[in-house]
Structure 1
Amino acid sequence: MNKEYYFKNLEEIVSDIIVIGNSEHNLTEETTNNMWRISLGLKLAKTIEVDDYREFFLKVIQNRQEQVIRSSQNHGMIFYLWFDPLACQLRFNLISALHERLPFQCNLEFVENMDVIIIDFLNSPFHNGFPLQGYQENIEEKPYVLKIYKRVLNKEYC
């Protein structure tokens, strides 16, 4: 698979319909229905640039912004993007802006630019999976901190 075909296959994600809850009690429904996972093989990862993913995510954000504006709800949504290193996937989700915090049980580090997340993903050596042995050797254990890119999509387009 080449880069053009790969991103063509991701195009359906751009126009997916999101769930916009009407209260903070709809968090489970939102997180379940509004999460997407993106992965790729190591060979393909070497051909993709940060700009390719940034362009893709800007299209996704634009589509989600339009859905928020057209919705009957009076609140916006929070778009958030992260890299899951264990699954070697870029993941993104949307929850209502009614929520005070993102639904993670670990420490979060918010980054101002999505490129940080994309670079971590592209530079991962595990696009083809984790080795069965040897990876955990000589690794210092420290508290896990998840990097998150977050953007609020308001009812009014800014």
Structure 2
Amino acid sequence: MNNKELYFKDLENIITDTIFIGSSEYDLDEESANNMWCISSNIELKKALTLKDYRDFLNRVIQNRRDQIIGSTLNHGMIFYLWFDQLACQLRFNLISDLHKKLPFQCDLEIIEHMDDVILAFLNSPFHEGLPIEGYYDNIEKKPFILKVYQIILNKD
């Protein structure tokens, strides 16, 4: 088994992990805490990983979550959302009930149509081995931060 195969074998438990489906909008904190997963990589492994690898993996995750929602006793769907955490250099994804009117972020969001944009931001990050201690931002123009988030509604039916 090569490193890439081992990497995705280690992530298999994420695909089958049981989700928490809240019964009201008051369950947001519990949903957020129980339904978030983070994926990281190192610089060497990143060279072998592709957009298609992550897209295939995430589509399997989404299908599993859809199956869990359909099989639940609750009558509402959930929002699957994916983003790239630049500071941690991680792909992150979560699910919250579709009872919620907005995603639980405290920053401006740009909802994007395709997960590929988030995956590519992760793959192309120069920080897979950590953030530089100083000097990286010396000559970079400062602009407002807008988090790109991919979301899809996973309906009950």
State the TM-score, normalized to the length of structure 2.
Answer: 0.98
Select between 136-145 and 17-26 the one with higher mean Cα deviation: 136-145
| Partner deviation per Cα, 1:107-148 (whole Å, 9 max, x = no partner) | 111111101000000000100001112112012111110000
Aligned partner of 2:26 in structure 1 is 25
Identity of aligned residues (%): 61
Aligned partner of 2:137 in structure 1 is 136
Superposed counterparts of 1:68-107, under 5 Å: 68-107=69-108
Aligned residues: 156
Separation of aligned partners in 1, 2:134 and 2:98: 42
Separation of aligned partners in 1, 2:117 and 2:133: 28
Query: After the TM superposition, which segments of 4 or more aligned residues of structure 1 sit over 3 Å from their partners?
Result: none
| Partner deviation per Cα, 1:39-86 (whole Å, 9 max, x = no partner) | 010111111000000000000000000000011111000000000000
Matched, 1:8 2:27: no
> Which structure 1 residue ranges, 5 or more long, are not aligned?
none
